[in-house]
Amino acid sequence: MALNRKIAYIDLSTGEIEIKPIPLEVRKKFLGGRGLDAYLLYNNTEQGCDPLGPGNTLMISGGILTATCASATARTHVMAKSPLTGLLGSANMGGFFAPEMAWAGFHHLVIKGKAEKPVYIWIHNGEIEIRDATNLWGKTTTETQWAIREELGDDEIKSAVIGPAGENLVRFANVMTGIKNSAGRTGMGCVMGSKNLKAVAARGTMDIKIAHPVDALEYNKRFIDQITSAKVNQTQGTLGTPFIWGATNSWGGIRTRNFQYNQCENADDIEPERIDEICEETMGPYHMTGCFGCQVHCRAQYKIPSGPYAGKYDEGPEYTSQGAFGGEPDCKNAVTVLTGNHLVDQYGMDNLETGSIISWAMELYELGIITSKDTDGLDLKFGNDEALLEMITRICYRDGWLADTLADGGIPASEKIGKDSFSYLIQVKGMSNLHSDERATPALALNIATGSRGSDHLRSRPAIDLYHLPEEVLRKIYSNPVPYDGPLSSEHTSYDGKPWMVFWQENCYMGVDCLGICKYHTTFLGATLPNFEDWTKVLYYNTGLEMTPKEIWDVAERCYNIERLFNLREGLQREDLKKGDMLNHRYFDEPCRRGAIDVIGATIDRKKFKKMIDEYYGHHGWDENGVPTPETLKRLGLDQEPSHLL
Amino acid sequence: MEKVLMINYQKCTGCRLCELVCSVMHDGVSNPARSRIKVMKWEAEGLYVPMSCQQCEDAPCMNVCPVKAISRDEDLGFVMVDYDICIGCRSCVAVCPFGAMNYNSIDKKVFKCDLCGGDPQCVRFCEVNAIEYVDAERLSIYKRKDAAERLSVAQKEAGALQAAM
């Protein structure tokens, strides 16, 4: 059964491994995946611990439904204290790793300590071994995975690995599996590197008993039909996430030249259709691929068509790479985007953070805050594709003063660079923003300001706010499974009811992250996709666990509050520009210069923003400083934390 | 009319849902090691090829079985194993040219595709139609049509190229 998958505590300093069952009581409180990871993080780290020290604890997990007959349960979650932000580190990836770990008998790994020399963890059919990784050190992400397969003689091994960026302690190094699946944000690969942990490899052939197999199969079919019939997923299945770029850019929601513009002009070469053309030219008509058990198949396959990396195979690029290596640095060539994407995939480095931080440096270069002396002669101006690609490699290897500085992340870099550099850094809680521009969309601005892992769209973005759905439809979505009769507006420029939408999405995304399901299978980009009500059924049919939609909602809220408690313990303060629920001043002070009529001139209104935060805290049951009240903690059963239940 | 699985590997996205639903349908568990269909992958090239039993007419597994445990279902035409007779010698596994006869070390039994009794779940769940369940005698028609289409496209391209020169 899914419920008998185990948790393993692995101490890399001593080599001790302890394997335990996960009590049902814990499952009912936290389910699994990100939620249970958050509980484990709060319970297994000391306040103020060094993110790169042996005291930081790294969790790698699958969700409670991972590898069951629910749809698209491919997600792997990785959590630790972030070396990029000093707050919650949390990242999630697709692929095939978590299912393999589940077939090998495990749902959660809790990794402490630091190995003396490079090691990797080998998990197979109920057993765990720590193995020497000296020969793997220095290898790229894919080289590492293939080398492990060769060493252990099994082509079906799935590994979560770091590349050279993680080894070099680039603060935004990621954890990767397959060609491009990345637990990208908050520097989880840097934590692995600090522990001398090159990879976790898994292979399993253990049965996961399905509680009600016939119902599970039939419901999965229904689920898939619902998901694949959504227009948004059909488009994803042909163009991948780049499809978002076209509409967003023409509307004026793509930040360009760091944050100078909100639209990338004359950028036909990086439009989704052009990228799709290259994929087709290099990989044939069927060039979409998918994660385990998923029928959305949103990932494109491509070979780089020209340039120094011509012929190299990769997957993607996602919407994020279009922004990171296209719009933000104002480099408008598909080959640059595809090459940048390939480089970060091979190095194991977050594309979004990498592109954003280089674009920030480009703006500083333009302003004269940094000069060619700092760049070792590199002409780091906007639109210099070669300089962009060169900087990616330099950052990975910390080659030169500027690259070494940027590799430490935006805030430490701004402290080192000095002058006015910090005010140009587009970040929240120390993590760079996605390349989308939220000045015309208060709901999305609130989402990035409050995200528990720093600026991020995958924690609480009410993306359907942009669809102008009739208010009664919105109300139907956002009044389940808990009633809501407050204000709600279909108008994306409005501030009304947006705090509730963000709060609701937080719980929705936490829900999928606990279950181990992909966000494209819930209320994210598609308004008609499954959520709480449907999850009770897949949960019951697959695991036998009976929960109401409200109980799953409560789990999500509980887990989100644990993340909040962790952040507060590590120093989050409401209006702190470096560690708070606050946006860069440019959101308030610089009006959008381009885009549609409802976008040009838009800024976020400070007063209304503050009111949104107040309201948002109120929905949570947090006080005016964003601290959960004793009543809230009691209601969620969190008044005894850390409670060490397992 | 006899129907068979027709696999067009180019359409396969490599998601392995077929492996999952196969093991759930037959054994009530999620475990690709129990799946009758298996997606072989070359991830570094992005190539995925689903492999399953071809239900051969002159089936080597049937021919090699020393105890005659393997026979053909008369209605649906698939090759099947009678576990009351099977002695688990795995000769059939050794001889199958497609690797489609499997051995499961948990139950210590050989196992193979039985077309789910006429409603193959791998086909039902594959939204991209990489696996289809078609009349055996029409199999070559489908392939021929595909090939003809490719040929026609190629000729048009060649014509355009010549015109351009």
pLDDT per position as a tens digit, A331-385: 999 999 999 999 999 999 999 999 999 999 999 999 999 999 999 999 999 999 9
- CA torsion A242-A243-A248-A250 (nearest 10°) is 110
Residue B10 has pLDDT above 70, yes or no: yes
Nearest to A264 by CA among A317, A325, A318, A327: A327
Domains identified in chain B and CATH numbers: 3-136 (3.30.70.20)
pLDDT in tens, A375-394: 999 999 999 999 999 999 99
Determine which of B40, B43, B157 to mutate to test the interface with A (most A C-beta atoms within 10 Å): B43
Contact A289 B124 (CB under 8 A): no
Residue B1 has pLDDT above 70, yes or no: no
Residue B143 is predicted with a pLDDT of: 82
Q: Which CATH class is domain A442-635?
A: mainly alpha
Q: CA angle, corner A386, sides to A381 and A388, nearest 5?
A: 60
Please give the pLDDT value at position B142. 84
Q: What is the CATH number of domain A238-432?
A: 1.10.569.10
Name the residue facing A207 among B10, B29, B127 (closest C-beta): B29
Q: Is residue B31 within 8 angstroms of chain A, CB to CB?
A: yes
Taking CB atoms and an 8 Å limit, are A69 and B127 in contact across chains?
A: no
SS3 B47: strand
Q: What is the pTM of this model?
A: 0.96
Report pLDDT for A560: 98
Nearest to A345 by CA among A571, A165, A197, A581: A165
Q: Which residue has the higher pLDDT, A112 or B137?
A: A112
Cβ–Cβ gap B14/A288 under 8 Å: no
Alpha-carbon span A427 to A411, nearest angstrom: 9
pLDDT at B140: 84
Q: Which residue of A has its CA nearest to B24?
A: A213
The span from the CA of A523 to the CA of A426, in Å, is: 27
Closest Cα in chain A to B20 = A69
Per CATH, A238-432 and A442-635 having the same topology is answered no
Give the nearest chain A residue to B107 (CA atoms). A207
Cβ within 8 Å, pair A210-B21: no
Q: CB distance from B85 to chain A under 8 Å?
A: no
- For residues A420-442, give the mean pLDDT: 97
Mutate to test the interface with A, among B12, B20, B107, B125 (most CBs of A within 10 A): B20
Mean pLDDT of B95-107: 92
* B128 and chain A in contact, CB less than 8 A: yes
- pLDDT > 90? residue B145: no
Q: Read off the pLDDT of residues A172-222 as tens digits, 9 standing for 90 and up.
A: 999 999 999 999 999 999 999 999 999 999 999 999 999 999 999 999 999
Chain A residues lying within 8 Å of B41, measured CB to CB? 155
> How do the domains of chain A map onto residue ranges?
2-203, 238-432, 442-635
> How would DSSP label each residue in A179-247?
TTEEE-GGGHHHHHHHTTEEEEEEE----EE-SSHHHHHHHHHHHHHHHHHSHHHHHHHHH-TTHHHHH
User: What is the maximum span of chain B, computed from C-alpha positions, in angstroms?
Assistant: 70
- Which long-range contacts does A397-405 make (Cβ < 8 Å, 24+ apart)? A397/A164, A397/A168, A398/A168, A398/A170, A400/A375, A400/A376, A401/A374, A401/A376, A402/A361, A402/A370, A402/A374, A402/A375, A402/A376
Give me the half-sphere count of Cα atoms (radius 13 Å) on the Cβ side of residue A379.
4
Q: How far apart are CA A180 and CA A94, in angstroms?
A: 9
Query: What is the mean pLDDT of the segment spanning A479-486?
Result: 96
Q: Reduced to 3 states, what is the DSSP secondary structure of residue A512?
A: helix
In chain B, residues with a C-beta closer than 8 Å to the C-beta of A96 are 16
DSSP H or E stretch at residue A43: helix A33-44
Place of tokens 């007063």: A607
Instruction: Give B 3-22 residues with CB within 8 A of chain A.
Output: 10-17, 20-21
Q: How many CA atoms lie within 13 A of A366 on its CB side?
A: 17
Predicted confidence (pLDDT) per residue in A531-563, tens digit: 999 999 999 999 999 999 999 999 999 999 999
Residue B104 pLDDT level (bands cut at 50, 70, 90): confident
| Predicted pLDDT of residue A172 | 98
Residue A265: count of CB within 10 angstroms of its CB: 10
Show Cβ contacts of residue A579 under 8 Å, excluding neighbours closer than 6 positions.
A85, A86, A87, A429, A430, A570, A571, A572, A573
Predicted local distance difference test score (pLDDT) of residue B26? 97
Task: Give the per-residue pLDDT at B137.
Answer: 86
Q: What is the pLDDT of residue A597?
A: 92
- pLDDT per position as a tens digit, A293-327: 999 999 999 999 999 999 999 999 999 999 999 99
Q: What is the mean pLDDT of chain A?
A: 97
**Percentage with pLDDT > 90 across chain A:** 97
Q: Convert the pLDDT of each residue in A14-59 to its tens digit.
A: 999 999 999 999 999 999 999 999 999 999 999 999 999 999 999 9
How confident is the model over A502-538, as pLDDT tens digits?
999 999 999 999 999 999 999 999 888 999 999 999 9
pLDDT at B136: 87
Mean pLDDT of B54-71: 96
pLDDT in tens, A226-263: 999 988 889 989 999 999 998 899 999 999 999 999 99
Q: Scanning the structure block, which residue is given the tokens 């196992």?
A: B111
CATH number of the A2-203 domain: 3.60.9.10
> Which of A96, A205, A213 lies closest to B24 in CB terms?
A213
Number of A–B residue contacts, CB under 8 Å: 98
ipTM above 0.90, yes or no: yes
Q: Which residues of A touch B34 (CB under 8 A)?
A: 207
State both tokens at A447.
């989402």
Q: Do A293 and B27 make contact, defined as CB atoms within 8 angstroms?
A: no
* Cα nearest neighbour of A313 on chain B: B45
User: Does B129 contact A at CB distance below 8 Å?
Assistant: no
| B15–A291 CB contact, under 8 Å | yes
* Residue A300, min C-alpha distance to chain B (Å): 10
Mean pLDDT of chain B: 93
Of all residues in chain A, the one with the smallest CA distance to B8 is A286
Residue type, B41: K
